[in-house]
Amino acid sequence: MDGDRIEVRDLRVMGVHGVLPEERERAQPFALDLDVGLDLRRAGVTDALEDTADYGALCTRAVDVVAGRSFLLLEALADAVARALLDEDDRVATVQVTVRKLRPPIAAQLGSVGVRVVRDRAAAGTRHAPPGAG
């Protein structure tokens, strides 16, 4: 993602997401990185919140998705967060959302597993049928 952006790093949220039965029984910790692309030139000149996207509101929207809904796949969770951020403010042109599961049920020594999705306003309403569908 090139150009102006608002960055949020390591937003921590508890949520119920995963395929395995034990992941569906209780909340677990997730960390999100949000890169929100929009033109920040006007805000840079005016120094006014109304000339930019409010990162507090963006964080609240992301938290609402992670804590308020449940997904089997991190891919679906990241997509839902990205779409919610695009819906939050019309000035947002692109979003990059990274979701990391901090305690994945894997018998290996690792810090986290995660996915990253990039969505833009122009393609936000476009969904492709999965292979074999139709």
CATH number for the domain that contains residue 105 = 3.30.1130.10
Q: Is residue 132 part of a domain?
A: no
Q: Given the residues 5, 17, 101, 119, select the one marked as catalytic.
A: 101
Q: How many domains does the chain have?
A: 1
pTM: 0.88
117 falls within a domain:
yes
Within-domain flag for 50: yes
d(CA 4, CA 35): 10
User: If pLDDT is split at 50, 70 and 90, which confidence band does 131 have?
Assistant: very low
Confirm whether 32 is a catalytic residue: no
Q: Which of 35-49, 86-100, 102-116 is the least confident region?
A: 102-116
**Res 28 pLDDT > 70:** yes
Buried b (16+ CB within 10 A) or exposed e, 95-129: bbbbbbbeebeeeeeeeeebbebebebeeeeeeee
Domain with 76 in it: 5-123
